[in-house]
A and B are shown apart, each in its own frame.
Chain A
């Protein structure tokens, strides 16, 4: 996946290196926070979208293959729903928690997480 939400947002927010996380240090001196947030938002948004589609696709395909073998047509939609569920769980685990962490580490003025307007308060 394109970028690590938690460490970079943490960087942006307070300049602290959150322990236990991969921190590249390449953004700490970056003056262009708005640009950084924009790239982050863009890649995260498309990554989440891709995960949701990919989950349905992968498990839909598996379900379809099994349904062909067993002649149980119901397995195709069941596979798609299962895939969607797995994707959703993963997205929440991966990105939802990262956002919560990032929000927790910063005394945000108005809690506008990935919002571009955030770039104006520097």
Chain B
């Protein structure tokens, strides 16, 4: 079942009739599977499937929490139960460990961030959507920008612009060491740290989608009344394995992104040294 579903995710080169010994070769998935034909265009703006998925995820997350907390009861029932579980999970596993109780005012931001990323990631496993939005890096950079702007803003507000950058380097360091460390700190803060924050999420989702495509296409390609059938079964088993692995990766990447955001906020609220 998964094979057929995932096959539809690669319309560009699904090679419907391509099988072993039919002479057309394995239709290897690649970058072309991450590009979609526009659904419609408005002037030069083209609306594509990843945008639709991102929009639906946004609406879905908002609708879920709206349903859970529009009329909150003291004794939670139904959706509110699940909503509270979700929020408490983020609070106790992500926010409190980094920010402590003082950071509770950032809970709405972190909950939104976590569930937006998580649901978008999960879309790679759900039939008909079957595309992780975050495997297009254009969806990742705006989130990194939001996190970084907040990070800088809080740092400036709580430590002052000069004090904020001064606090990056531990006190008591001789001034000549300070001069040596400044280029390193600048490169780390403005280039490496935002880059790793974004690329970590993007690369994981990109690789996950590619892995799923490789094994599902191979299952389809090898399925025939030849020795290939044996390999097709092996490939199908790999699809199930990668599917479960991706379930873990989806959760983990959302968790890591949000946890790092929380630690960034923590370091902005007070000097870490």
Query: Chain A interface (Cβ within 8 Å of chain B)?
Result: 1-4, 22, 24, 26-27, 30, 32, 35-36, 38-40, 42-43, 46, 49-51, 53-55, 57-59, 61-62, 83, 86-87, 90, 94
Which residue in B102, B256, B267 is a CB contact (below 8 Å) of A42?
Answer: B256
Contacts of A51 in B (CB 8 A): 184, 188
Q: Is the CB of B170 within 8 A of A94?
A: yes
Q: Tell me, in angstroms, the Cα distance from A62 to B183 when the chains sit together.
A: 9
Contacts of B267 in A (CB 8 A): 1-3
Q: Tell me, in angstroms, the Cα distance from A46 to B170 when the chains sit together.
A: 18
Known: A39-B263, A54-B192. A32 touches B181 (CB 8 A): no
Describe B's contact surface by its main secondary structure: helix
Residue of B nearest to A34 (CB): B97
Q: Is the CB of A59 within 8 A of B183?
A: yes
Query: Chain B interface (Cβ within 8 Å of chain A)?
Result: 92-94, 96-102, 168, 170, 180-181, 183-188, 191-193, 196, 256, 259-260, 262-264, 266-267, 270-273
Contacts of A49 in B (CB 8 A): 196
Q: Tell me, in angstroms, the Cα distance from A83 to B192 when the chains sit together.
A: 14
Q: Is the CB of A24 within 8 A of B273?
A: no
Known: A32-B92, A32-B97, A50-B193. A86 touches B259 (CB 8 A): no
Q: Tell me, in angstroms, the Cα distance from A22 to B263 when the chains sit together.
A: 16
Contacts of B193 in A (CB 8 A): 46, 50
Q: Is the CB of B181 within 8 A of A90?
A: yes
Q: Is the CB of A54 within 8 A of B191?
A: yes
Describe A's contact surface by its main secondary structure: helix
Q: Is the CB of A35 within 8 A of B263?
A: no
The distance from the CB of B116 to the nearest CB of chain A, in whole angstroms, is 20
The distance from the CB of A30 to the nearest CB of chain B, in whole angstroms, is 7
The distance from the CB of A25 to the nearest CB of chain B, in whole angstroms, is 9
Q: Tell me, in angstroms, the Cα distance from A30 to B262 when the chains sit together.
A: 16
Residue of B nearest to A1 (CB): B272
Q: Is the CB of A42 within 8 A of B263?
A: yes
Q: Is the CB of B192 within 8 A of A53?
A: yes
Q: Is the CB of A3 within 8 A of B184?
A: no
The distance from the CB of A27 to the nearest CB of chain B, in whole angstroms, is 6
Contacts of B98 in A (CB 8 A): 3, 36, 39, 43
Residue of A nearest to B98 (CB): A39
Q: Is the CB of A50 within 8 A of B188?
A: yes
The distance from the CB of B203 to the nearest CB of chain A, in whole angstroms, is 14
Contacts of A26 in B (CB 8 A): 99-102
Contacts of A32 in B (CB 8 A): 92-93, 96-97
Q: Is the CB of B263 within 8 A of A3?
A: yes
The distance from the CB of A19 to the nearest CB of chain B, in whole angstroms, is 15
Contacts of B185 in A (CB 8 A): 54
Residue of A nearest to B270 (CB): A24
Q: Is the CB of B191 within 8 A of A57?
A: yes
Which residue in A30, A50, A90, A94 is a CB contact (below 8 Å) of B192?
Answer: A50
Contacts of A54 in B (CB 8 A): 184-185, 187-188, 191-192
